[in-house]
Amino acid sequence: MRILIAPDTFKESLTAAEAARAIARGLQSALPDVTLDLCPLSDGGEGFVETLVQASSGRLDHAPTTDALGRPIRAAFGVLGDTVAIELSAAAGLAQIPPELRDPRRTTTFGVGTLIAEAYARRPFRTLLLAVGGSATVDGGVGLLEALGVRFLDASGEPIPRGGGGLGRIARIDASGAHPLLKEARIRIAVDVSNPLLGPRGAAPVYGPQKGATPEVVRELEVGLANLADRLEALSGVRVHDMPGTGAAGGVASGLVTLADAQLEPGFELVAKAVRLDERLEAADWILTGEGQLDRSSFEGKVVGRLSETRPDARVIAIAGRVTPEGEALLAARGGAAFSLVREPMTREAAMAQAESLIERTAQAIGILLR
């Protein structure tokens, strides 16, 4: 029996590589003779850079920047020949911000723009791969672009405050001082969802709450993002309001698409090609995957959903910290099965702290079942 172990990150708990190793330990305890192929994956969120660096024999570099609250940090980026790979979560990640400090009216992608500029200053790159999952922000990418020389001004000609709370005050966008890389480099944005910028499935209502937004704040952010989209369309002629994928990471792609002709691409496809996923799937009898929460969004461009599409004849088993009824039903409809890590009353914080042992225990139970 050959099992492909291909999890995504368990957000705020384990990297995909750590999760894969925990699954392997659990399976081997029940199936000592099993053949395991560990293939950590990413759909454009955390782990994207690490996966690409390992698959392409690239290297990691680090640079000073700031997190989503403007606090000094050092962040990693990947150097892959004349391509640089950066995760938005490295400098604007949700996991970097304690729950009590999460407020998308204040959090900004400015540090991501700083990191991009620093990477370019060290060695001008021809292509930027920007993975946008796992962000703490809903600022439409305004902070990122501000760090790259684009000015977002209010009616008085003053810069708007950083964070999603200032988007409704944008009266004019001045791109005359934009960093040359916005025109000279090819920018490919790896998205992990297909949501549009605005509307019921947009950035603010779907992802704002997990970043600390109350219903009132969600409405404020929606109005602000709509204003940003209008201003960008007036400047560039490109309409991003309902463009699929622009809802990822609080709308960060919207400004890059309009001002830098960036291309949106499924992050899963980029990683799958790098790790030769097709041939590894072909050799597998079973596929064991996982993520922090299995829900509807898991089937909108994320790892679990894409694996169940890519090899419909294979048997897919997903492990998740939380399995919603809708997520379980969607996977079952594709012939797969889902297992929750939590078998007893436990807080979310406690489950996340024990994620590694819970994954190993669940994988062991799956191994016994397969045996």
Element (H, E) at 308: helix 303-310
Q: What is the average pLDDT value for the chain, to the nearest integer?
A: 93
Residue 68 is predicted with a pLDDT of 98
- Which has more confidence, 312 or 308? 308
Q: Report whether pLDDT(301) > 80.
A: no
pLDDT, average across residues 2-31: 93
SS (H, E, C) 131-164: ECCCECCCCCCHHHHHHCCCEEECCCCCECCCCH
pLDDT, average across residues 271-283: 91
Residue 302 is predicted with a pLDDT of 84
- Tens of pLDDT, residue by residue over 214-242, are 999 999 999 999 999 999 999 999 999 99
Element (H, E) at 121: helix 110-122
Question: All domains of the chain, ordered by start, with CATH?
Answer: 2-41+276-370 (3.40.50.10350), 48-268 (3.90.1510.10)
Task: Using CB atoms within 10 Å of the CB of residue 47, give its burial: 0 to 12 exposed, 13 to 18 middle, 19+ buried.
Answer: buried
pLDDT, average across residues 314-341: 92
Q: What is the pTM of this model?
A: 0.85
Helix axis angle, 303-310 to 325-333, nearest 10°: 20
Amino acid at 317: I
Helix axis angle, 48-56 to 267-274, nearest 10°: 30
Q: Report whether pLDDT(159) > 70.
A: yes
Residue 311 is predicted with a pLDDT of 67
Residue 312 is predicted with a pLDDT of 63
Q: Report whether pLDDT(292) > 70.
A: yes
Residue 162 is predicted with a pLDDT of 96
Token couple for 270? 């980029």
DSSP classification of residue 339: E
SS3 190: strand
SS3 182: helix
- Tens of pLDDT, residue by residue over 179-207, are 999 999 999 999 878 899 999 999 999 99
CA–CA gap between residue 265 and residue 203 (Å, rounded) = 17
- pLDDT grade, residue 313 (50/70/90)? low
| Maximal CA-CA distance, the chain | 71
- Which residues make Cβ contacts (< 8 Å) with residue 150, sequence separation at least 6? 173, 174, 175, 177, 178, 182, 255, 259
Q: Are the C-beta atoms of residues 119 and 77 closer than 8 Å to each other?
A: yes
SS3 25: helix
Give the bridge partners for 127, in sequence order.
Answer: 83, 186
pLDDT, average across residues 90-113: 96
- Which residues make Cβ contacts (< 8 Å) with residue 240, sequence separation at least 6? 197, 229, 232, 233, 246, 253, 254, 257, 258
